[in-house]
Amino acid sequence: MSGLSLRAERVTLGYGGRPAVRGLDLDVAAGELLVVLGPSGCGKSTLLRAFAGLLPAMSGRVLADGEPITGPSADRALMFQDDALLPWRTARRNVELALALRRVPRGRRRAEAERWLARVGLGDDAGRLPRELSGGMRQRVQLARTLAAGPRAILMDEPFGALDAQTRASMQRLLLDVLADAPATVVFVTHDVDEALLLGHRVVVLGRDRPAGVAAEFDGAASRDELLAALGAGDPVKDDALKDDALKDDALKGEPLKGEPLKGDVLKEAV
């Protein structure tokens, strides 16, 4: 099975009649890994919810393989930003949930769930309840559950935010490994510029202006400075807006460091 293509056509999304994303045009080719970058509150999660079929468009269209998206489907798995594990199920049973809904025969679920947990480094924690796991471990269980669903499009909402640098790198590697085995389209939301450079075939920066649209788009050869510039561009109150943002850290880290822009492609090969 190959990846789904996703498409947003002049789409406006929002809650209770108030738009959060306005008139967005976005194409995600089948099998592409698109990174969506943007400050918090700009509508990244909202966009993923629309692709997942959880949020109907206020206007415009959202399409998967050319067909309008009318509701959720196991084809398009969403890895939530919030803690979305069922707290009464152990890590293993949470992963089994994805298998059960895919109608994997009962007898094969346990072994397969344990295999996925082992791949995210939680082989020994299969029997533990979510409340007995740390935030980063819960994120990895959710990653295992999302991948176990065998989706054709994986929608990931800041999936590695709670992980330490080392675990984060190994999860990024795992994601790329899984994609090599079972090609899927990925929309990967992050506010981490380095992660964007590392993973993305293409990076889209959602605008800081509220409600947001695409502010800038880069193919695989974007540089760190270009992305940082795009994140800050067109923003009259840049410093204030950055104040309570996780972006601020990245921006500060980046500025004094790099003279030579790093190429995304180079990094990808290094992984």
Q: Write out the residues near another protein by the rule CB under 8 A.
A: 52-54, 71-74, 76-78, 80, 82-89, 97-98, 101-102, 129-131, 145, 149
Nearer to ligand ADP, 40 or 70 (CB): 40
> Following DSSP, what letter does each residue of the chain receive, concatenated?
--PPPEEEEEEEEEETTEEEEEEEEEEE-TT-EEEEE--TTSSHHHHHHHHHTSS--SEEEEEETTEEP-S--TTEEEE-SS--S-TTS-HHHHHHHHHHHTT--HHHHHHHHHHHHHHTT-GGGTT--GGGS-HHHHHHHHHHHHHHT--SEEEEESTTTTS-HHHHHHHHHHHHHHHHHS--EEEEEES-HHHHHHH-SEEEEE-SSSSB-EEEEE-TT--HHHHHHHHHTT-TTHHHHHHTSTHHHHHHHHHHH-SSPPPHHHHHHH-
Task: Please identify, using beta-carbon distances, which residue of 126 and 156 lies nearer to ligand ADP.
Answer: 156
The residue (of 129 and 176) whose beta carbon lies closer to another protein is: 129
Minimum Å gap between C-beta 17 and another protein is: 19
Q: Nearest distance from residue 78's CB to ligand ADP, in Å?
A: 12
Least separation, in Å, of the C-beta of 81 and Mg ion? 5
Select the binding partner of residue 161 from ligand ADP, Mg ion, another protein, none (C-beta < 5 to 8 A, by kind): none
State the number of binding residues for ligand ADP (CB under 6 A). Answer: 10
How distant, in Å, are the alpha carbons of 50, 51, 95, 117 from that of 76?
11, 8, 16, 21
The item of Mg ion, another protein, ligand ADP, none sharing an interface with residue 20, based on CB under 5 to 8 Å by kind, is ligand ADP
43 binds ligand ADP (CB under 6 A): yes
**31 or 136: CB nearest Mg ion:** 136
Which residue, 127 or 234, has its beta carbon nearer to another protein?
A: 127
Kindly state the smallest distance separating residue 48's Cβ from ligand ADP, in Å.
Answer: 8
> CB count, 10 Å around CB of 57?
19
List the single partner that 43 binds among ligand ADP, Mg ion, another protein, none, CB under 5 to 8 Å by kind: ligand ADP
List binders of ligand ADP among 45-84 (CB under 6 A): 45-46
Q: Which of 5, 12, 45, 146 binds Mg ion (CB under 5 A)?
A: 45
Contact yes or no for 186/174 (Cβ under 8 A): no
Q: What residues from 10 to 39 belong to the interface with ligand ADP (CB under 6 A)?
A: 15, 20, 38
Can the peptide bond before residue 211 be classed as cis, meaning omega within 30 degrees of 0? yes
Choices 37-45, 56-64, 242-250, 255-263; region in contact with Mg ion by CB under 5 A: 37-45
CB of 148 to another protein, least distance (A): 9
Contacts with ligand ADP, residue ranges (CB under 6 A): 15, 20, 38, 40-46
